[in-house]
Structures are given as C-alpha cells and as structure tokens.
C-alpha cells in the first residue's frame, strides 16, 4: 500500500497525535508544517524571524512560501514512497499545488478529522508541548516530562484562547472549504475526532486502508 495521506481538521482535532501513532504502521514519515515552522522560530533562522509574528497571531503564512517548503520536503528520499501531511494543505491554492506536485505519484488519501468548536477550545486549553523538542504531549499534568526527550512541558504559545479563536476563524474560512474540494474523490473519508484517541486511531486506520486498498 502506497499513498500520501492528507489529514484535514481544525486545530486540536488530534492530527499530530494521530499522525505520530499511525506513521509506524505504514513506515512513512510524518510531515507537520506547524512543527517545521515552530522549529524555525525556535532556532531564529531567517525563515523563523520572517514568520514569527504571523504564527503568533494564528494567521496563515504565505501560500508560495509554505508550498515551496513542503515540496522540498516531499522530494527527499524518505517521502517519495508516501508520507503523512499534517497541516498542509490549508488553502485551496495549496491543495491545487499539491495535486500538481504529486501527479505521477501514488494517489492522495484524504481524511478529515471532525471536531466541534467547543471541543477545540476545551482541548487546546489543556494541551501541552515540550519546550525543548516541540513534541505534543497527551499528558495534561504539568509536572510530567516530555516522553520523547524528557524536556519540560509548557502550553503552546498559539493555544492562548484569543489566538485559538482566530485560528478557528481562519480554519472555517480558508481550510474547511477543502472538505468540498476533496469531498467527491473516492479516497476521501471522515472520522469523528471527538472520540477517545485510541478509537480515533482505529477509525483512521480503517478509513485509510479502505481508501488506499
């Protein structure tokens, strides 16, 4: 089975958590645009300095810039046989560029992880990430350490409530139209993101296997 999996869904739907779980099943890399951009900000690279303010406000960075970053990553050897895209595409122009880029490669499988605005706000108020390596934690106990590197857990800067409300607004206006963009494709599926993480994982694996099979 060979495919590129696009995970759609609002912030907090669990795309990153689920991608980190299922990538091991298929042995394909997890490409998170948010993680790539947060690393650039943390390391204060020229890219990081350029995008820092937009990310802090919960807005989207420029389509051409993010598309270039993703296409370069997709061209690396480990991603040519398939990967999981988490956080890309986020606009119709990004989705059109992705279609062009992967022409001739295995087809896209698109899974929309659904979550209501109320659940998004509740989940993100409790979410913690590692201050050192950026890994998402499923553990809301602030005394716990990162399961990846042992670093301290902190709230994500853009999970502050005012920023989350803007991210949700941006999601509904610019990203949710992708559900119609992809909806008629035979490889499009939806799963209920409000379930327990294990149940979402089960449904996601089934959805991908039925779409790619």
State the residues that interact with ligand AMP by CB under 6 A: 11, 33-34, 37, 54-55, 58-61, 66, 87-88, 90, 94, 158, 167
Q: Active-site residue 24, yes or no?
A: no
Q: Which helix (DSSP H) or strand (DSSP E) does residue 179 occupy?
A: helix 177-183
Spatial CB neighbours of 116, under 8 Å, sequence gap ≥ 6: 194
Could you tell me the smallest distance in angstroms from the CB atom of residue 54 to ligand AMP? 6
Cα–Cα–Cα angle for 152, 200, 207, rounded to 5 degrees: 130
**Residue 152 β-bridge partners:** 145
**Residue 153 β-bridge partners:** 130
Residue with tokens 């990203």: 175
37 or 130, CB closer to ligand AMP?
Answer: 37
39 or 209, CB closer to ligand AMP?
Answer: 39
Asked if 56 and 163 count as a contact pair (C-beta separation under 8 A), the reply is yes
Could you tell me the smallest distance in angstroms from the CB atom of residue 146 to ligand AMP? 17
Q: What are phi and psi of 138, to 5 degrees?
A: -90, 0
148 or 209, CB closer to ligand AMP?
Answer: 148
Could you tell me the smallest distance in angstroms from the CB atom of residue 62 to ligand AMP? 7
17 or 201, CB closer to ligand AMP?
Answer: 17
| Edge-first strand listing for the sheet containing 136-137 | 136-137, 128-130, 153-154
Residue with tokens 């108020």: 125
Q: Active-site residue 50, yes or no?
A: no
**Residue 111 β-bridge partners:** 7, 189
36 or 209, CB closer to ligand AMP?
Answer: 36
Q: Of all residues in this chain, which one has the CB nearest to ligand AMP in the complex?
A: 34
d(CA 187, CA 132): 37
Residues acting as catalytic residues: 15, 90, 127, 156, 167
């Amino acid at each position: 089975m060979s495919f590129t999996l696009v995970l759609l869904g609002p912030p907090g739907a669990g795309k990153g958590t689920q991608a980190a779980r299922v990538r091991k099943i298929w042995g394909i890399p997890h490409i998170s645009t948010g993680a790539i951009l947060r690393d650039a900000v943390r390391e204060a690279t020229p890219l990081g300095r350029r995008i820092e303010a937009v990310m802090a406000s919960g807005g989207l960075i420029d389509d051409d810039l993010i598309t270039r970053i993703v296409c370069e990553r997709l061209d690396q050897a480990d991603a040519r046989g398939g990967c999981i895209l988490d956080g890309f595409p986020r606009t119709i122009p990004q989705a059109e560029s992705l279609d062009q880029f992967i022409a001739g490669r295995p087809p896209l499988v698109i899974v929309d992880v659904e979550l209501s605005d109320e659940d998004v706000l509740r989940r993100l108020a409790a979410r913690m990430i590692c201050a050192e390596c950026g890994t998402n934690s499923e553990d809301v106990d602030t005394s716990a350490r990162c399961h990846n590197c042992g670093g301290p857990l902190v709230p994500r800067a853009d999970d502050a409530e005012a920023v989350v409300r803007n991210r949700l607004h941006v999601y509904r206006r610019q990203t949710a139209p992708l559900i119609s963009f992809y909806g008629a494709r035979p490889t499009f599926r939806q799963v209920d993101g409000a379930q327990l993480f294990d149940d979402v994982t089960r449904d996601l694996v089934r959805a991908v296997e039925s779409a790619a099979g």
